[in-house]
Chains A and B, each alone.
Chain A
Amino acid sequence: MNIDRQMMEVDIACVGFGPATAGFLHTLSQAMTAEDGSVLLESKVMPGMPLQVVCYERADDIGFGVSGVVTRGKALRASLPDLDPAQIPMAAPVRDEQVLYLKDPLGKSRRSSGVRMLDRLFGLLGVKDHAVKLPYIPPFLCKKDGLVLSIGQFSQWIGNQLMGSGLVQVWPGMPVSEPLLEEDRVVGVRLTDQGVESDGTPGPGYMPGMDIRAALTVVGDGPVGPVGQKLDAHFGLPAGNHQDEWAGGMKVVVELPEDCTLQPGFVLHTLGYPEPEIFGFLYVYPDRVASLGIFVPSWLDSPVRSSYRLLQHWMQHPAIWKHLKGGTLRSWGAKSLQESGQRGEPVLAGDGFARIGEGSGSTNLLTGSGLDEAWATGVQLAEGVIELAKAGEPFSRTNLERAYLGRRRDSWVEKDARIAKCARDGFTRGMVPGLLGMALSGMSGGRFNVGGAFRRPWQRIPAFKDYFSGQLSAQEIDTIVEDCRQHGKPPFEPLMDKLGWPPIEYDGQLLISHQDALLLGGKVQAAHGFADHVRFVDPSACDDCESQICVAMCSGQAISASEGGGVPQFDREKCIHCGICMWNCTSGRDGDPLRSNVSFDAGSGGLHSAEN
């Protein structure tokens, strides 16, 4: 099939519409024209017109499939001084913050001697509902005067204003497959081919993805974005940096029961259960709606981690369940979080490109804050771009390093990121060293911390027999694994059952099967004519895989075990594009140990809900 690839020229092409790109476009659009409509920043591709700025977003609409968040809102308020949370659905000022240390009411979690010591220590503060309310929240964690937000609703709110200005165009449903590279210069992006079979071969209605050539490509496609990944593969990470730490965030939006007393703006953070390493959150929005969920980190060195089941056990902890019982699930979703922070920073600017947001390493892991930092990096880039455009200077590496990176390095984002850089290293050694490291870093302004033991995520997953040593016999494990292999089922559920974790009693409202969450609360949809975006690079590595952890951790049950073992099945229609499979794999890639055996590329579809 010989169909020419089309090409279009714009001035600035953005990839991914999240908080960072929103901050970039908001700042830039305000400087493009004067109040009388005259052009201030003139386009080079359409002389006489303002800069031609387009943004391509993979999801079917802007704001689909992101998460609830609590933020200090420092950068947001600087950009939007009249920001009124009442104008944004599912937003409220922070009114009350609590941190709960959750003890294990079932006695089934793996608690090291250090964690058992913590149990006893915190227990001295008074236990209620198998939980201890910490009397003090360190200042670095506080979000006083901040906001609770649904990033989905915030994105739609700001996106509508941006599109309404007519100055920038944000196109949803349009995945970008790769940067257009000419040696080390990025000259635009290539959109994903449409009308192809699942393996990418042209099918009926084949349309090669268009080349969008731009003087500047702004990469804000998040931690698992294909353009960011390909830039990393081309340029490598700066010396000393790595992206070894990840977390899978899984959350639900719940309509709280009528008798729930939690007020809008209530913020709850938990640690300690269902495994000590799992952190939880609950943010209350107006109208008795809450966003809640857990983070499953890559340093939870368990081969049976399954976010969905762990989330259900967390929700049923007595200290949480007392708020939720009688509520109704409204929405559900998941995403990957890049947890290396500044240490995971890629090459931030080069000839023709700049990176912003979470994929640029902006998330602050000490303060647990990402939205504000992401927005700030977008604003900083926009200010740099305005400076260069006004001066008629090209978007070269040198100029972007001065105009964008200079601003970023001089800002509070950088200052806070330096303090946070090593704050979480201790978690790579265990829960207690991790907490100690955070406290040391936070209290000393980053001068002291607990050193880490870094390994690639795929190097952290132990064999079943090692992990269950002393709990299950080798024979018990072999029997379960072999039975699951024959029946094409992953072994994590039977293994958790065998350890004594109680089955989830579905109530049809809040506790529903993973499949029902996908259908009722997740609302997943995939457009036809796109290729599979998840591939297992070396099939033999899957043949040898015991844990099939990619199946266990797949948020949308899009990856399923094959009968008899071997390469798992991938069902594109169920994928929510969280990218968790990419770092939850037990094998490194041949010749490229920085990456796992799962390839996660550009694809269409995902969640159809902006409530998250």
Chain B
Amino acid sequence: MSGGFHIVVCGSLVPDPLQTLEPMEGPTGPALKNEMMLPAVLDPWAGHALFEAAQLAKNVPDSKVWLVSLGPKAKLQQLMMSIAQKVSFELVAIDGSAGGFTDPFDVAATLADTIDKIEGLDRTRLLLFGGCASASRDSGVTMQMVAERLDIVDQFLAVDKLTVSSDGALEVLERIEAGQYQVSSCAGAPAMLGWATGSLPEPPNNPQVGMMNMRTVMPALQKAQAAEVGIGGLKYAAVELPKQRRETRVVKDTPAEEIAQEIVDWLKA
């Protein structure tokens, strides 16, 4: 293939899943209680997409990775100090809500518009990466809508593996129902891949990578444009905490059969 890939990863922050999240009615609509105080992490599925993108860019010469992040600017800055140490990318920041009460339609429109304006991006070499769903409850539709708006017709969801042949053709391993996998092929970029977990572990923190990334991260944050992605145009009929009972224990070295039996007993009870 001539030239590498231009990989754009859509991914942003979500409240740390270790936290107890409590929806509430805020002055501008529904929000999470103490949202700006909650620790934020990179959306886990988007994280897998980013790590796969970085690995692919490393293996295919002349490739480049952009990370397009939509979230509150102050929280994005905080998040970048964690993930910018892991892999190389160029940040494109958008200042907007990421608390989960956003409209995927608006989010997709904003992301597509932003990607369209990335300077130097070659759409013929574009691989659009993202999570197949989001921990911020986007219902798994955002990436398809972004792809549609960018005229990308080859779309793959719940991807666990991508193999690139020497001519740039793609072989994609997708999860489908009932624990089955599907292998698909396409001629090459442009394509959209919504990642499941992939196969790469989280990279270690590397200070040199962090120092390199920060040269572009801070200017990107300063340039971040504000975006309306739900608040105002969307009306929620009701928002409430699920009526679930949480019972947490830590067990180690317990056989899977024993755990399964306990769950069955609990369900029967």
Enumerate chain A interface residues (CB-CB to B < 8 A): 6, 8, 54, 56, 60-62, 64, 89-90, 153, 156, 159-160, 163-164, 166, 169-174, 191, 194-195, 204-205, 207, 210, 212, 515-516, 519-520, 523-525, 527-529, 574, 608-611
User: Cβ of A171: which chain B residues have Cβ within 8 Å of it?
Assistant: 81, 85, 205, 207, 210
CB-CB under 8 A for A515 and B205, given A160-B77, A164-B77, A171-B210: no
B210 to chain A, nearest CB (A): 6
0 or 1 for each of B5-17: is its CB under 8 Å from A? (1 = yes): 0000000000010
User: Cβ of B203: which chain A residues have Cβ within 8 Å of it?
Assistant: 205
Whether A163 pairs with B37 at a CB distance below 8 angstroms is no
Task: Name which residue of chain B comes closest to A195, CB basis.
Answer: B204
A111 to chain B, nearest CB (A): 38
List 28 A–B pairs whose Cβ atoms lie within 8 Å, in order of A's numbering: A8-B207, A8-B208, A56-B207, A61-B78, A62-B78, A160-B77, A163-B78, A163-B81, A163-B218, A169-B211, A169-B214, A171-B85, A171-B207, A172-B81, A174-B85, A205-B203, A210-B207, A210-B208, A212-B207, A515-B248, A515-B250, A520-B248, A523-B16, A523-B39, A528-B201, A608-B39, A609-B19, A610-B39
Contact-residue size bin, chain B (C-beta under 8 Å from the other chain): 20 to 34
Best-buried of B37, B208, B221 by chain A (most CB within 10 Å): B37
The 5 closest A-B pairs by CB, nearest first: A194-B204, A523-B18, A166-B218, A519-B248, A207-B204
Q: Which secondary structure characterizes the binding site on chain A?
A: mixed
0 or 1 for each of B38-79: is its CB under 8 Å from A? (1 = yes): 010000000000000000000000000000000000100110
User: Cβ of A210: which chain B residues have Cβ within 8 Å of it?
Assistant: 206-208
Per the bound structure, the CA–CA distance linking A566 and B206 in Å amounts to 38
Per the bound structure, the CA–CA distance linking A61 and B77 in Å amounts to 12
User: Cβ of B248: which chain A residues have Cβ within 8 Å of it?
Assistant: 515-516, 519-520
Best-buried of B202, B206, B207, B250 by chain A (most CB within 10 Å): B207
A196 to chain B, nearest CB (A): 10
Whether A64 pairs with B204 at a CB distance below 8 angstroms is no
Per the bound structure, the CA–CA distance linking A528 and B18 in Å amounts to 16
Whether A519 pairs with B201 at a CB distance below 8 angstroms is no
Select one of B18, B20, B77, B207 contacting A191, CB under 8 A.
Answer: B207
CB-CB under 8 A for A608 and B18, given A171-B210, A212-B207: yes
6 other A-B residue contacts (CB within 8 Å) besides A8-B208, A60-B82: A54-B211, A160-B74, A171-B85, A171-B205, A171-B207, A173-B82
B249 within 8 A of A: yes
B263 within 8 A of A: no
A260 to chain B, nearest CB (A): 18
B239 within 8 A of A: no
User: Cβ of A523: which chain B residues have Cβ within 8 Å of it?
Assistant: 16, 18-19, 39
Task: Name which residue of chain B comes closest to A518, CB basis.
Answer: B250
Select one of A170, A207, A528, A529 contacting B81, CB under 8 A.
Answer: A170
B242 to chain A, nearest CB (A): 16
Per the bound structure, the CA–CA distance linking A160 and B82 in Å amounts to 13
Task: Name which residue of chain A comes closest to B20, CB basis.
Answer: A520
Whether B204 pairs with A529 at a CB distance below 8 angstroms is yes
CB-CB under 8 A for A173 and B37, given A205-B204, A210-B207, A529-B204: no
Per the bound structure, the CA–CA distance linking A166 and B81 in Å amounts to 12
B226 within 8 A of A: no
Task: Name which residue of chain A comes closest to B75, CB basis.
Answer: A160
Per the bound structure, the CA–CA distance linking A173 and B203 in Å amounts to 12
Per the bound structure, the CA–CA distance linking A204 and B77 in Å amounts to 30
CB-CB under 8 A for A6 and B211, given A156-B78, A520-B20: no
B88 to chain A, nearest CB (A): 15
Give chain B interface residues in 193-228, CB to chain A under 8 Å.
Answer: 201-208, 210-211, 214, 218, 221
Per the bound structure, the CA–CA distance linking A205 and B204 in Å amounts to 8
Per the bound structure, the CA–CA distance linking A446 and B206 in Å amounts to 49
Task: Name which residue of chain B comes closest to A64, CB basis.
Answer: B39
Per the bound structure, the CA–CA distance linking A6 and B210 in Å amounts to 14
User: Cβ of A61: which chain B residues have Cβ within 8 Å of it?
Assistant: 39, 78, 81-82
Whether A160 pairs with B207 at a CB distance below 8 angstroms is no
User: Cβ of B250: which chain A residues have Cβ within 8 Å of it?
Assistant: 515, 519, 574
B259 within 8 A of A: no
B25 to chain A, nearest CB (A): 15
User: Cβ of A90: which chain B residues have Cβ within 8 Å of it?
Assistant: 37
Per the bound structure, the CA–CA distance linking A267 and B210 in Å amounts to 42
Select one of B204, B214, B221, B249 contacting A515, CB under 8 A.
Answer: B249
User: Cβ of B204: which chain A residues have Cβ within 8 Å of it?
Assistant: 194-195, 205, 207, 529
B36 within 8 A of A: yes
User: Cβ of A89: which chain B residues have Cβ within 8 Å of it?
Assistant: 34, 36-37
User: Cβ of A611: which chain B residues have Cβ within 8 Å of it?
Assistant: 34, 37
Whether A54 pairs with B207 at a CB distance below 8 angstroms is yes
Per the bound structure, the CA–CA distance linking A164 and B18 in Å amounts to 27
Per the bound structure, the CA–CA distance linking A103 and B19 in Å amounts to 37
Per the bound structure, the CA–CA distance linking A515 and B74 in Å amounts to 33
Task: Name which residue of chain A comes closest to B246, CB basis.
Answer: A520
A354 to chain B, nearest CB (A): 21
Best-buried of A172, A174, A210, A610 by chain B (most CB within 10 Å): A174
Best-buried of A153, A164, A515 by chain B (most CB within 10 Å): A164
A571 to chain B, nearest CB (A): 8
Task: Name which residue of chain B comes closest to A60, CB basis.
Answer: B82
CB-CB under 8 A for A160 and B78, given A608-B18, A608-B39: yes
CB-CB under 8 A for A610 and B210, given A172-B81, A195-B204: no
CB-CB under 8 A for A172 and B20, given A61-B39, A205-B201, A519-B248: no
Task: Name which residue of chain A comes closest to B19, CB basis.
Answer: A523
Per the bound structure, the CA–CA distance linking A512 and B87 in Å amounts to 40
Per the bound structure, the CA–CA distance linking A608 and B17 in Å amounts to 10
Select one of B82, B211, B249 contacting A8, CB under 8 A.
Answer: B211
CB-CB under 8 A for A608 and B37, given A8-B207, A191-B207, A207-B204: no
User: Cβ of A163: which chain B residues have Cβ within 8 Å of it?
Assistant: 77-78, 81, 218
Give chain B interface residues in 241-269, CB to chain A under 8 Å.
Answer: 246, 248-250
A113 to chain B, nearest CB (A): 45
Task: Name which residue of chain B comes closest to A52, CB basis.
Answer: B211
0 or 1 for each of B157-170: is its CB under 8 Å from A? (1 = yes): 00000000000000
User: Cβ of B37: which chain A residues have Cβ within 8 Å of it?
Assistant: 89-90, 153, 610-611
Per the bound structure, the CA–CA distance linking A54 and B207 in Å amounts to 10
Whether B39 pairs with A194 at a CB distance below 8 angstroms is no
Whether A172 pairs with B211 at a CB distance below 8 angstroms is no
